[in-house]
Amino acid sequence: SIAYLNGEYLPLEEARISPLDRGFLFGDGIYEVIPYYGGKSVGLMPHINRMINGLAAIEIQNTISADDWKALLDDLVARNASQGENLGVYVHVSRGADVKRFHAYPEDVAPTVFAFAFPIKDPQPVDRTKATPMSMISTEDLRWQRCHIKSTALLGNVMHFQQGYAAGCGETLLFNAKGELTEGSSSNAYIVKDGKVITPIQDNQILPGITRRIIIDSLKAEGSIEVEERIVTMDEVREADELWVSSSSKEIAPVTSLDGKPVGNGEIGEVWEKAFKIYSSAKFDF
Binding residues for ligand PMP, per CB under 6 A? 157, 183, 186-188, 207, 209-212, 246-248
CA 223 – CA 217 distance, rounded (Å): 10
Nearer to ligand PMP, 116 or 279 (CB): 279
User: Among residues 117, 119, 120, 112, which one has the least CA distance to residue 3?
Assistant: 117
Task: Identify whether the C-beta of residue 242 lies closer than 8 Å to the C-beta of residue 269.
Answer: yes
Nearer to ligand PMP, 115 or 173 (CB): 173
Nearer to ligand PMP, 47 or 212 (CB): 212
CA 225 – CA 229 distance, rounded (Å): 13
Minimum distance from residue 14 beta carbon to ligand PMP (Å) = 35
CA 279 – CA 244 distance, rounded (Å): 13
Nearer to ligand PMP, 3 or 245 (CB): 245
Residue of 121, 150, 178, 261 marked catalytic: 150
Whole-number CA gyration radius for the chain? 25
Minimum distance from residue 207 beta carbon to ligand PMP (Å) = 4
User: Among residues 79, 86, 111, which one has the least CA distance to residue 10?
Assistant: 79
- Beta-bridged to residue 228, according to DSSP, are 198
Minimum distance from residue 120 beta carbon to ligand PMP (Å) = 37
Q: Kindly give, in sequence order, each residue whose CB lies less than 8 Å from that of residue 182, ignoring residues fewer than 6 positions away.
A: 147, 174, 175, 176, 189, 200, 205, 206
Mark whether 193 is an active-site residue.
Answer: no
Minimum distance from residue 171 beta carbon to ligand PMP (Å) = 10
Indicate which residues carry an active-site annotation: 150
